[in-house]
């Protein structure tokens, strides 16, 4: 609450006050016969201007657009220049009686002057000689007040009468005399005579406020000049000494002795109270016409200013809005017996709220034996004759009454008006015209949706405002069945549709409409994105799902009693009761979230409504999260609602802990939630729902009701919850600009907490908060803070945390992967191979033996992948029938790469070795079948078996007689290299030992190739010259080879060397025999040496690995 600005302006006694029209200056007068002019924006130590022309006590002051007036007990009304002390002259004089009040009409043309004479003077300001005398009084006139239109003048007399003059007639006439409202004060020396008894007209002109002799404030309607409502509160007791109205008519200020009270004219409830100078009596109070400020003067001569008298949570007292131009809410007593649960009247309010509930003696307020609920079950009344304790029923025979179905934002009919819907999109208002209803639909954002109204002949009692359209429903009556009407927001009325419940007696319990938010009023947007979805809850215990065009999609059995529901773009949030209420006061409410697309239940759990309380409201936040509010005054938001079966309710606000509520009797009617703000309507006293005219929407900041934590920690946790909800709402996006900005701001707040923790030497807290940082730059700032406080260990730990964060996978990617797993997208269908030709056999899907699709596992990928090259000397399968040549693969043939995933492709055809055409039956398998067909089984033989006598001395590597004339195709490039090597090493023909082969480097051997295990190949021994010449003589001229063959045939050396290594590892005896044979037979070509292995069906390529390992 702002601090008061007090200034001593006059002596003790009655004082008066007024503001200039622009609100820049304030004029005060008192018993010291002077008028002081104050600058409102300056402080208490200012030196005001002073007008000292009066010879008697100043009793009243008034200001016009270009001048100001003062009246005093010396019978003179003086006129001064605007905002100055320059005296311009006497406006009028009286016949020896004091001036009591001065009132200037709204147009600034006439001035009404009252005094102790039995008439009122009305002086024309342009021609002061033109004066109208309003006669007919029997006592002096204490005050006068003009109607906002200037057509009426209300005067208050000393004998307790209010006389209303019609000033629009050619001659002023009395229109009405009202008695027995204001007090009768004839003694001018009594303290009560100094009280301001002026009538205060509301800005609408429909009624005026006046203080009664019963120390209350009442409103008197202009229509019939009768008392219509009363302003009273137990905290505002005592005589009313002054009244004033705000510039827009939203607030009324009153003074009682030394206290100032501010009331809302919309609901007649006390908003705030301020204490003035103790022991004094405030004689005049007024609102500033330009700013949020209230000023008053008292009998001690003190001028007091109260800046920001109206809290920021309330509407501004200066700005004029549409809601402030209408009349105040006037209560009308409903029909007796109206009850929340449609039963007979129950106990009185004293039994429910205590003995103090019915202390108000106002005859115009509703009696204490009834109360109207807004169909949200906020009140639970036990049965008659039962006793209660702490709101719980004690007797076993009394069962908690079930909360009836309701729609959020709806109110009961009162004074032939009600709200069908009141949410963040707009309002649906109903006005009962007996034979029909008038439905008025208004929206807050007129650029997206245009308001409309229509005549309702069916008298709809249910309404819902969705993103894409409005839904209305009426109940069955006589032969007419229940009916649901959907009106989309498009410009085409033909898009409206009706859905009927034909079964007799079927009642519509609730309706909801969900859809994507509107971005424009373009009709194409409606057609492309559709009209959303409509859900209807019926008395047959089912939910009917309809499309936005009225197409029936599904009827889902609910299996519980429907209570309420609200819809979003993707799902509908339904509250229901499975079974009955409990004996200890629990409503036993549960909720379900049902998807519109596939009708699956995403969430299902219990609603956290405590025992003895009921649900007041459910809705959606601006992020689409479900929210609820119950009679405990707590607000809960459902987190992780997009993750199936992971949702939980987080308490984000407790309205009982609000600072503005301390010492006040008020409640709140929620409308929606935006970020960390609760949008609501503030209700005063026993008010249960908003009335008419429509009250303004208020904003209440939400704070998590932590019990012991500081404000900084509460802000951090609240923002963390908000950011996490925003991240959960993403789909494939990693982040958004809004999330990044919030994370940066959140990191700054965390750095402040780390700073405070380091200052208190609370290292564990600092480490704990450091782990919550989002950006790595925050770790550097945290380390700087640790260095500043010489916390070496903390700095080192923060460095470790930073290193772990940098080495770990990106948190945004981790979050997206989690969302993908949560949403469980369907696996892609396996691709089937289409038929190559029309005549081919039909493909059998069940006969597909191919491997399943590859699952990506980056952590299990191999670092290297060896590639096995096929050479001329690669072992082959035993000769059999020639393999058929695979047909050319067309562009439409199925691609195995889509299934095999990371499997290495087969080597290209150009990289394969070519065999001799003469031995085609021994050709290798097609490359496409190499990995699919297993090698033939190996024939096991005992290398140590005794050989036949005839073969003991036989060379196993000698050329067979049957193969003496066999033609061998040789590569020219290969033998050219052999000749070069033979020329350089002609002196040595003996095969080197295995240990020396590693150190030899053959000349002209070309590029060396890496083998399977990364080892360099052994140097190849040049072929003997005789064998080369003999083979060349018997061999025809070889065909020219492609250019790629020389590089390909270089790998033959590797194969021969590995074969030799394998042979030497068989037995020592075989190795010695081989060396002896090579020394004796120089004419044998080297190809024969490896023929036993190279063409053996028992040997395969993979055996090279085993041989090397054994070596």
Give tens-digit pLDDT for 630-679.
999 999 999 999 888 889 999 999 999 998 888 788 899 999 999 899 99
User: Span 57-73, mean pLDDT?
Assistant: 92
pLDDT (tens digit, 9 = 90+) per residue, 247-256? 889 999 999 8
Residue 890 confidence class, pLDDT cut points 50, 70, 90: very low
Residue 845 confidence class, pLDDT cut points 50, 70, 90: low
Q: Residue 199 pLDDT more than 50?
A: yes
Question: Residue 523 has what pLDDT?
Answer: 61
Using DSSP's 3-state secondary structure scheme, residue 708 falls into coil
Question: Residue 1089 has what pLDDT?
Answer: 40
Place of tokens 């005839």: 950
The rounded Cα 927 to chain-centroid distance in angstroms is: 58
User: Span 485-501, mean pLDDT?
Assistant: 86
Question: Residue 108 has what pLDDT?
Answer: 87
Count, residues in the chain: 1111
pLDDT (tens digit, 9 = 90+) per residue, 75-116? 899 999 988 888 888 999 888 889 999 999 998 889 999 998
| Peptide bond connecting 693 to the previous residue in cis, omega within 30 degrees of 0 | yes
Residue 892 confidence class, pLDDT cut points 50, 70, 90: very low
More confident residue, 1051 or 311: 311
Using DSSP's 3-state secondary structure scheme, residue 835 falls into coil
pLDDT (tens digit, 9 = 90+) per residue, 670-709? 999 998 999 999 998 878 889 888 999 999 999 999 988 6
- Cα–Cα distance measured from residue 285 to residue 209, given in angstroms and rounded to the nearest whole number: 14
Scanning 881-971, the segments in alpha helix (DSSP H) are: 897-900
pLDDT (tens digit, 9 = 90+) per residue, 513-569? 999 988 766 666 667 788 899 999 999 999 999 999 999 999 999 989 999 999 999
- Which helix (H) or strand (E) segment is 762 a member of? none
User: Span 262-282, mean pLDDT?
Assistant: 88
Question: Residue 110 has what pLDDT?
Answer: 92
Token pair belonging to 53: 């022309």
User: Span 1099-1111, mean pLDDT?
Assistant: 44
Q: Residue 439 pLDDT more than 90?
A: yes
More confident residue, 960 or 184: 184
Using DSSP's 3-state secondary structure scheme, residue 538 falls into strand
Lowest-pLDDT range of 55-69, 781-795, 854-868: 854-868
Residue 588 confidence class, pLDDT cut points 50, 70, 90: very high
Give me the residues paired with residue 286 across strands.
295
Q: Residue 499 pLDDT more than 90?
A: yes
Report the C-alpha dihedral over residues 339, 345, 351, 352, rounded to 10 degrees.
Answer: -10
Are 664 and 643 contacting, i.e. CB atoms less than 8 angstroms apart? Answer: no
Q: Residue 931 pLDDT more than 70?
A: no
β-sheet with 698-701: strand ranges across: 666-674, 677-684, 698-701
> Percent of the chain, pLDDT > 90?
39
Strands (E), 521-620: 533-538, 542-547, 552-557, 561-567, 571-577, 589-595, 601-606, 615-620
Are 401 and 384 contacting, i.e. CB atoms less than 8 angstroms apart? Answer: no
3-state helix, strand, coil in the chain (%, to 5): 20, 25, 55
Q: Which domains does the chain have, with CATH numbers?
A: 5-324 (2.130.10.10), 423-557 (no CATH), 711-823 (no CATH), 949-1110 (no CATH)
More confident residue, 524 or 1027: 524
- Cα–Cα distance measured from residue 275 to residue 261, given in angstroms and rounded to the nearest whole number: 9
Q: Cβ of 57: how many Cβ atoms within 10 Å?
A: 21
Q: Is the pTM of this model over 0.75?
A: no
Q: Residue 398 pLDDT more than 70?
A: no
- Helices 1052-1064 and 1068-1080 pack at an angle, to 10 degrees, of 120
Question: Residue 328 has what pLDDT?
Answer: 46
pLDDT (tens digit, 9 = 90+) per residue, 768-799? 999 999 988 899 999 999 999 999 999 999 99
Are 564 and 537 contacting, i.e. CB atoms less than 8 angstroms apart? Answer: no
pLDDT (tens digit, 9 = 90+) per residue, 982-1015? 666 554 444 444 444 444 444 444 444 444 444 4
- Which helix (H) or strand (E) segment is 99 a member of? strand 99-104
User: What mean pLDDT value characterizes the chain?
Assistant: 76
User: Span 156-177, mean pLDDT?
Assistant: 90
> Percent of the chain, pLDDT > 70?
66
β-sheet with 87-93: strand ranges across: 58-63, 67-72, 76-81, 87-93
Token pair belonging to 254: 């009153």
In this structure, which long-range contacts are made by residues 793-800, counting pairs with CB atoms below 8 Å and at least 24 apart in sequence?
793/763, 794/758, 794/763, 794/766, 794/767, 797/767, 798/767, 798/770
- Sort strands 666-674 and 561-567 into parallel, antiparallel or unpaired: unpaired
Using DSSP's 3-state secondary structure scheme, residue 434 falls into coil
- Cα–Cα distance measured from residue 1019 to residue 1000, given in angstroms and rounded to the nearest whole number: 6
Q: For Cα atoms 758, 760, 765, give the angle at the middle one, nearest 5 degrees.
A: 60
- Which helix (H) or strand (E) segment is 955 a member of? none
More confident residue, 214 or 182: 182
- Cα–Cα distance measured from residue 1081 to residue 826, given in angstroms and rounded to the nearest whole number: 71
Are 699 and 682 contacting, i.e. CB atoms less than 8 angstroms apart? Answer: no
Token pair belonging to 176: 């009405």
- Cα–Cα distance measured from residue 1035 to residue 1026, given in angstroms and rounded to the nearest whole number: 14
Token pair belonging to 951: 């073969």
- Cα–Cα distance measured from residue 1061 to residue 1074, given in angstroms and rounded to the nearest whole number: 12
- Sort strands 542-547 and 552-557 into parallel, antiparallel or unpaired: antiparallel
Q: Cβ of 109: how many Cβ atoms within 10 Å?
A: 13
- Cα–Cα distance measured from residue 585 to residue 380, given in angstroms and rounded to the nearest whole number: 9
Sign of torsion over alpha carbons 71, 74, 78, 84: negative
Token pair belonging to 784: 């700087």
Question: Residue 319 has what pLDDT?
Answer: 83
């Amino acid at each position: 609450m702002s601090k008061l600005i007090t200034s001593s302006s006059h002596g003790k006694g009655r004082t008066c006050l007024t503001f200039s029209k622009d609100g820049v200056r304030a004029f005060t007068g008192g018993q010291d016969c002077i008028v002081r002019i104050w600058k409102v924006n300056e402080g208490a130590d200012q030196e005001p201007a002073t007008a000292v022309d009066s010879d008697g006590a100043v009793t009243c002051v008034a200001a016009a657009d270009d001048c100001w007036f003062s009246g005093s007990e010396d019978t003179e009304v003086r006129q001064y220049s605007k905002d100055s002390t320059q005296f311009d002259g006497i406006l009028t004089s009286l016949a020896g009686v004091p001036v009591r009040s001065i009132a200037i009409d709204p147009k600034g043309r006439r001035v009404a002057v009252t005094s102790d004479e039995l008439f009122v003077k009305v002086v024309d300001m342009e021609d002061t000689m033109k004066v109208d005398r309003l006669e007919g009084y029997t006592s002096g006139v204490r005050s006068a007040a003009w109607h906002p239109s200037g057509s009426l003048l209300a005067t208050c007399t000393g004998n307790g009468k209010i006389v209303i003059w019609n000033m629009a007639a050619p001659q002023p006439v009395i229109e009405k005399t009202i008695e027995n409202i204001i007090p009768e004060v004839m003694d001018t020396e009594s303290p009560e005579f100094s009280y301001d008894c002026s009538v205060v007209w509301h800005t609408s002109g429909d009624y005026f406020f006046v203080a009664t002799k019963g120390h209350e404030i009442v409103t008197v309607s202009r229509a019939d000049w009768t008392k219509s409502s009363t302003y009273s509160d137990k905290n505002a007791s005592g005589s009313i000494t002054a009244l004033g109205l705000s510039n827009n008519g939203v607030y009324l200020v009153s003074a009682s002795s030394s206290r100032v009270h501010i009331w809302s004219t919309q609901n007649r409830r006390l908003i705030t109270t301020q204490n003035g100078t103790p022991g004094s009596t405030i004689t005049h109070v007024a609102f500033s016409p330009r700013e949020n400020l209230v000023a008053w003067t008292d009998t001690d001569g003190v001028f007091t200013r109260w800046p920001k008298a109206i809290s920021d949570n309330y509407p501004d007292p200066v700005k004029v809005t549409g809601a402030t131009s209408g009349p105040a809410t006037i209560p009308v007593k409903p029909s007796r017996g109206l009850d929340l649960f449609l039963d007979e009247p129950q106990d009185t309010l004293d039994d429910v709220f205590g003995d103090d509930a019915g202390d108000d003696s106002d005859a115009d307020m509703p009696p204490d034996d009834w109360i109207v609920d807004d169909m949200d079950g906020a009140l639970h009344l036990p049965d008659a004759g039962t006793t209660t304790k702490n709101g719980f029923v004690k007797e076993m025979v009394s069962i908690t009454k079930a909360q009836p179905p309701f729609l959020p934002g709806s109110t009961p009919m009162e004074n032939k008006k009600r709200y069908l819907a009141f949410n963040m999109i707009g309002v649906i208002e109903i006005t009962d015209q007996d034979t029909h209803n008038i439905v008025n639909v208004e929206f807050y954002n007129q650029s997206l949706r245009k308001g409309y109204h229509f005549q309702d002949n069916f008298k709809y009692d249910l309404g819902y405002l969705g993103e894409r359209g409005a839904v209305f429903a009426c109940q069955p009556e006589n032969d007419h069945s229940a009916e649901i009407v959907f009106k989309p927001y498009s410009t085409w009325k033909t898009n409206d549709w009706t859905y009927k419940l034909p079964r007799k007696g079927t009642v519509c319990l609730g309706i909801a409409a969900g859809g994507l938010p509107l971005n424009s009023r373009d009709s194409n947007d409606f057609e492309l994105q559709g009209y959303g979805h409509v859900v209807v809850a019926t008395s047959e215990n089912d939910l009917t799902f309809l499309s936005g065009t009225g197409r029936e999609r599904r009827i889902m059995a609910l299996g519980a009693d429907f209570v309420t529901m609200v819809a979003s773009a993707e799902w509908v949030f339904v509250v229901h009761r499975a079974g009955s209420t409990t004996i200890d006061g629990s409503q036993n409410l549960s909720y379900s979230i049902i998807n519109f697309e596939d009708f699956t239940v995403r969430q299902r759990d219990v609603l956290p409504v405590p025992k003895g309380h009921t649900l007041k409201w459910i809705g959606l936040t601006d992020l689409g999260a479900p929210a609820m509010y119950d009679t405990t005054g707590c607000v809960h938001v459902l987190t992780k609602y997009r993750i199936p079966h992971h949702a939980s309710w987080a308490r984000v606000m407790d309205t009982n802990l609000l600072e503005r509520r301390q010492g006040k009797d008020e409640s709140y009617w929620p409308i929606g939630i935006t970020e960390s703000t609760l949008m609501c309507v503030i209700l005063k006293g026993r008010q249960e729902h908003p009335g008419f005219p429509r009250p303004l929407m208020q904003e209440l900041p939400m704070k998590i009701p932590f019990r012991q934590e500081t404000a900084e920690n509460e802000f951090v946790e609240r923002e963390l919850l908000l950011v996490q909800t925003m991240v959960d709402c993403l789909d494939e996006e990693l982040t958004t600009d809004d999330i990044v900005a919030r994370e940066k701001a959140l990191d700054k707040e965390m750095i402040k907490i780390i700073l405070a923790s380091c200052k208190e030497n609370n290292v564990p807290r600092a480490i704990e908060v450091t782990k919550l940082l989002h950006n790595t730059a925050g770790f550097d700032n945290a380390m700087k803070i640790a260095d500043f406080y010489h916390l070496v260990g903390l700095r080192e730990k923060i460095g470790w945390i930073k290193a772990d964060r940098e080495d770990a996978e990106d948190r945004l990617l981790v979050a997206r992967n989690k969302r993908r797993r949560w949403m469980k997208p369907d696996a892609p269908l396996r691709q089937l191979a289409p038929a190559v030709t029309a005549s081919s056999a039909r493909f059998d899907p069940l006969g597909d033996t191919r491997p399943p699709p590859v699952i990506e596992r980056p952590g299990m990928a191999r670092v290297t992948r060896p590639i096995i090259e096929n050479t001329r000397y690669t072992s082959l399968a035993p000769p059999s029938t020639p393999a058929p040549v695979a047909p050319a693969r067309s562009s439409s043939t199925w691609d195995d790469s889509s299934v095999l995933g990371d499997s290495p492709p087969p080597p290209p055809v150009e990289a394969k070795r070519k065999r001799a055409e003469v031995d085609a039956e021994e050709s290798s398998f097609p490359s496409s079948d190499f990995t699919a067909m297993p090698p033939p089984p190996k024939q096991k033989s005992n290398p140590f078996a005794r050989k036949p006598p005839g073969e003991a001395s036989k060379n196993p590597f000698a050329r067979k007689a049957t193969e003496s004339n066999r033609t061998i195709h040789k590569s020219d490039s290969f033998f050219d290299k052999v000749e070069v090597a033979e020329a350089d090493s002609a002196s040595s023909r003996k095969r080197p030992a295995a240990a020396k082969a590693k150190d030899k480097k053959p000349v002209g051997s070309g590029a060396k190739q890496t083998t399977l295990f990364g080892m360099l190949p052994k140097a190849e021994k040049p072929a003997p010259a005789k064998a080369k010449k003999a083979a060349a003589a018997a061999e025809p001229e070889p065909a020219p080879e492609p250019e790629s063959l020389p590089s390909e045939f270089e790998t033959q050396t590797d194969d021969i060397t590995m074969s030799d290594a394998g042979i030497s590892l068989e037995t020592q005896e075989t190795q010695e025999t081989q060396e002896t044979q090579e020394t004796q037979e120089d004419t044998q070509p080297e190809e024969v040496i490896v023929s036993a292995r190279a063409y053996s069906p028992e040997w395969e390529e993979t055996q090279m690995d085993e041989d090397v390992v054994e070596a």
